[in-house]
C-alpha cells in the first residue's frame, strides 16, 4: 500500500486519516483529491500539508479524466469524498446521488482501469436503517430511510458489484457516528459546542430519544487502516464500539462540559425522517485486531477544547449554517 489516493481528505474524517497514513513508514505517497465543497478545507490538513509525502489535488471525483490519471499513479484508494449531512439531503438529494453514487462509480471505473491493489469505500451504519432491537451485522438488510443513507447504500452496492463483476479489490467500511476535532459545525456535537461557546441555546429534535453510537474519529480511522491493510476483498466491515447515547443523554454530557443547565435547551419538531436507533455488531473487524480506545467524555472534552481554541475555523461556517435553520 505504498502510494495511497485519499478522496475527501480535506474533510473531517479524511483529514484525520491522512495524518495517520503519513505517520506510517510503509506509506511513501499520499495524494488527497478533494473538490473543497462547503465541507472541505485545506486547513483541516494543517501541518500535514508540509509533509514531502503529501500531494493535494483540488478536483472532483466525477472528473473521469482526472481520476483516471490519479488512480494509475497509486496502489490503493481510500474513498471518503461524499455529501455527508443528512439534513441537507432533505432539500438537495440530487447532489447526494450525483456525488455519492455517480462519483463513487467514476472512481471505481478508474480503479478498475488502473488495476489498483486495494479500494476501501467508506460508508455508514445509516445504510441499515432503524433497528427496534438487536444489532445489524454485515449481512443485515439495507433499509435506508433518508436520501443521504440511501445514496450511501447505493454506492456500497455499486462498489461491491465492482468486486463481483470485475474483481476490483473493494472493501466497504460502515462506521457509527463520528465525533472529534475539525468536524463541520452543521453536525450535532460541534453545533452544540459552538452554540454554547457563543452563549446561545441548543435545539433538540423531537423528544431527544434518538439513539446513536458515538465513535471517536481516530477509532474509525484505526478501523479503516485495519481494513486497508488486512480486509478481505469483497467484504464489508462494521466499525462500532463507541458509546450508545440518546440525543438527550448526549446533550447532558455536552452541557456538563460547559457547566450549563437544561434551560439552554430548546425542543424543536423532529426531522422529516429521523431513525430512532442504530446498532451494529462489529465482531468481524475485531477479529482483524480493531479495538476502539477513546473514552467518550475525554474525547468530548478534547473536541470542545479544539472549538474553544479555533473560533476562526468555525465561526464563518456557523454564520452560513444559521441561514439554513
Ligand atoms: P465531510 O463532509 O466532512 O467531508 C467530505 C469531503 O469530501 C469534503 O472535504 C468535501 O470537500 C469532499 N467532497 C465532497 N464532494 C466531493 C466531490 N464530488 N469530489 C471530491 N471531493 C468531494 O464528511 P466526513 O464526515 O468526513 O465523512 C467522510 C465519509 O465518511 C463520507 O463518505 C461519509 O458518508 C462517511 N461517514 C461519516 C460519518 C460521520 O459521522 N461523519 C459516519 C460514517 C460514515
CATH: 3.90.25.10, 3.40.50.300, 1.10.540.10, 1.25.40.10. Which one for 179-212+243-278+294-323? 3.90.25.10
Query: How far is it, in rounded angstroms, from Cα 207 to Cα 230?
Result: 42
Quote the ligand 1 centre to 11 CA distance (angstroms). Answer: 6
Quote the ligand 1 centre to 10 CA distance (angstroms). Answer: 9
Is the per-residue pLDDT at 319 higher than 70?
Answer: no
Return the pLDDT at 272: 83
| Ligand 1 mutation pick, 10, 12, 33, 147, max ligand atoms within 8 A of CB | 12
Return the pLDDT at 320: 55
Mean pLDDT of the region 82-96: 96
Return the pLDDT at 161: 98
Percentage of the residues of the chain whose pLDDT score is greater than 90: 93
Return the pLDDT at 293: 98
Sequence spans of domains, the chain: 2-176+216-239, 179-212+243-278+294-323
Quote the ligand 1 centre to 161 CA distance (angstroms). Answer: 22
Query: How far is it, in rounded angstroms, from Cα 11 to Cα 152?
Result: 17
Return the pLDDT at 323: 38
Q: Which of 128, 118, 126, 123 is nearest to 162 (CA)?
A: 118
Topology (CATH level 3) of domain 2-176+216-239 = Rossmann fold (3.40.50)
Q: Which of 62, 64, 82 is nearest to 72 (CA)?
A: 64
- With a 6 Å cutoff on the Cβ, whether 155 touches ligand 1 is no
Mean pLDDT of the region 50-74: 98
- With a 6 Å cutoff on the Cβ, whether 62 touches ligand 1 is yes
As a whole number, the mean pLDDT across the chain is 95
Is the per-residue pLDDT at 321 higher than 80?
Answer: no
Query: Which residues have a catalytic role annotated?
Result: 125-126, 148
Mean pLDDT of the region 168-182: 98
CB count in 10 Å sphere of residue 265: 18
Amino acid at each position: 500500500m505504498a502510494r495511497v489516493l485519499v478522496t475527501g481528505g480535506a474533510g473531517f474524517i479524511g483529514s484525520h486519516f491522512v495524518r495517520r497514513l503519513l505517520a506510517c513508514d510503509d506509506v511513501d505517497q499520499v495524494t488527497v483529491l478533494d473538490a473543497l465543497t462547503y465541507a472541505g478545507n485545506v486547513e483541516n490538513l494543517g501541518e500535514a500539508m508540509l509533509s514531502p509525502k503529501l500531494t493535494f489535488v483540488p478536483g472532483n471525483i466525477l472528473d473521469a479524466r482526472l481520476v483516471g490519471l490519479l488512480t494509475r499513479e497509486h496502489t490503493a484508494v481510500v474513498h471518503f469524498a461524499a455529501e455527508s449531512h443528512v439534513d441537507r439531503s432533505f432539500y438537495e438529494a440530487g447532489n447526494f446521488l450525483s456525488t455519492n453514487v455517480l462519483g463513487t462509480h467514476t472512481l471505481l471505473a478508474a480503479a478498475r482501469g488502473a488495476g489498483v491493489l486495494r479500494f476501501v469505500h467508506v460508508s455508514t451504519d445509516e445504510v441499515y436503517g432503524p433497528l427496534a432491537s438487536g444489532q445489524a451485522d454485515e449481512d443485515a438488510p439495507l433499509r435506508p430511510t433518508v436520501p443521504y443513507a440511501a445514496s450511501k447504500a447505493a454506492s456500497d452496492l455499486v462498489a461491491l458489484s465492482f468486486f463481483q463483476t470485475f474483481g476490483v479489490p473493494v472493501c466497504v467500511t460502515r462506521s457509527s457516528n463520528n465525533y472529534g476535532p475539525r468536524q463541520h459545525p452543521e453536525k450535532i456535537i460541534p453545533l452544540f459546542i459552538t452554540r454554547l461557546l457563543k452563549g446561545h441555546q441548543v435545539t433538540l429534535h423531537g423528544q431527544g430519544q434518538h439513539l446513536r453510537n458515538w465513535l471517536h474519529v481516530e477509532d474509525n480511522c484505526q478501523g479503516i487502516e485495519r481494513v486497508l491493510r488486512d480486509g478481505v476483498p469483497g467484504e464489508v466491515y462494521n466499525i462500532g464500539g463507541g458509546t450508545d447515547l440518546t440525543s438527550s443523554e448526549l446533550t447532558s454530557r455536552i452541557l456538563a462540559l460547559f457547566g450549563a443547565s437544561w434551560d439552554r435547551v430548546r425542543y424543536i419538531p423532529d426531522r422529516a425522517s429521523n431513525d430512532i436507533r442504530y446498532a451494529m455488531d462489529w465482531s468481524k473487524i475485531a477479529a482483524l485486531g480493531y479495538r476502539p480506545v477513546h473514552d467518550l467524555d475525554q474525547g468530548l472534552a478534547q473536541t470542545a477544547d479544539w472549538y474553544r481554541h479555533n473560533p476562526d475555523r468555525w465561526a464563518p461556517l456557523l454564520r452560513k449554517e444559521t441561514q439554513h435553520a
